[in-house]
Amino acid sequence: MATPTTKRSLLSALTSSLLLAHTQATPWKVLDVDFPDPAIIHTDDGYHAFATTSGDINTQVAHSADFTTWTLLEGHDALPAPFPDWVIDDPKPGVWAPDVIQRDDGTFIMYYCAYARQDPTKHCVGAATSPSVEGPYTPEANVLACPTEQGGAIDASGYKDDDGTWYVVYKVDGSALNTDANYHPTPIMLQKMEADAVTPVGEPVQLIDRGEADGPLVEAPSITRGADGVYYMGFSSNMFDTLYYDMSWATAEAIAGPWTKSQDPGAPLLVTGDDSDAGPLGGPGGADFRDDGKAILFHAFNNGQNTSEGRGTWAAEISLEGGRITLL
């Protein structure tokens, strides 16, 4: 239930986004179905996007030759059962927010999360491999991150640094422990990986955590590096099923930090009420950077109001410069 206070904050968010709208370019809607938490990969076969479970599909896939027009691969599941022992015994184990990268040997790696057998109310993160981008992906036996006492781990995203080192960033899902407004930490962690991109090296390090301005959480991290040499992390704040959800960003000079959440007047980059070719956005977030850092995919409410008609996917071109992200 929204209190009078939260309604006022929402009104002010709506007002400031309307004031900013005329300076911003227009994101365009690319998938008018339920396709949340989109992740992008670019290959010789154009662009593929992967999304959270919907209907009977664990991991949805869409394709685009030109990044402008996208087609859902209807009925295609890139991550069908069976799952390894760390996952609950269910062919549909709640697979959220997959991300796909291509290793130097050509193998595709999917990072995904699923409900964990050691605590079936929490998600943990694993990896799966495939010789082809569309899968089907074969899960690795070992879990990659499984801090169930802190709420589990979700929203894994792969990143290859300029020196060739693979990293996985993910959210420790303290949100899964929240029973009241005493919000648990939701740190975004950085895990260094072996060259195989599936074996962790050492312990993960914390990059950012939720603060007052983020409401209950931060999540959905995606990292890229600008031509300015700055590391940019896109992330979402607030609950995904409310109009407060957004996409903001943090910057760093080194991948392990320290990271600083942007105080730029243009941050968050995306909030409810921002313009799009399909009308004002509702609950935008869950964004992923395109490999070249020049565009994003993100989701928002199909009906502009709530999740009842699912979350569709939008695209936007961006620029990264001087620590700022702007819509082109």
Ligand X SMILES: *[C@@H]1O[C@H](CO)[C@@H](O)[C@H](O)[C@H]1NC(C)=O
219 is catalytic: yes
Task: Name the residue nearer to ligand X (CB basis): 303 or 319.
Answer: 303
Task: Name the residue nearer to ligand X (CB basis): 107 or 306.
Answer: 306
Task: Name the residue nearer to ligand X (CB basis): 282 or 286.
Answer: 282
User: By 3-state DSSP, what share of the chain in percent is helix, strand and coil, each rounded to 5?
Assistant: 10, 40, 50
Residue 215 structure tokens: 């409401």
140 is catalytic: no
Catalytic residue among 34, 37, 214, 275: 37
Please report, as ranges, the residues that interact with ligand X according to CB under 6 A: 303, 305-306, 308
What's the number of CA atoms in the CB half-sphere (13 Å) around residue 261? 18
Task: Name the residue nearer to ligand X (CB basis): 88 or 278.
Answer: 278
By CB neighbour count within 10 A (0-12 exposed, 13-18 middle, 19+ buried), where does 164 fall? exposed
Q: CB of 310: closest distance to ligand X in angstroms?
A: 11
Beta carbons of 232 and 222 less than 8 angstroms apart? no
Q: CB of 303: closest distance to ligand X in angstroms?
A: 5
Catalytic residue among 173, 219, 275, 288: 219
Q: Which helix (H) or strand (E) holds 19?
A: helix 4-21
Q: CB of 14: closest distance to ligand X in angstroms?
A: 15
How far from 9 is each of 61, 79, 164, 243, CA to CA, in Å?
36, 40, 43, 11
Q: CB of 308: closest distance to ligand X in angstroms?
A: 4
Active-site positions?
37, 219
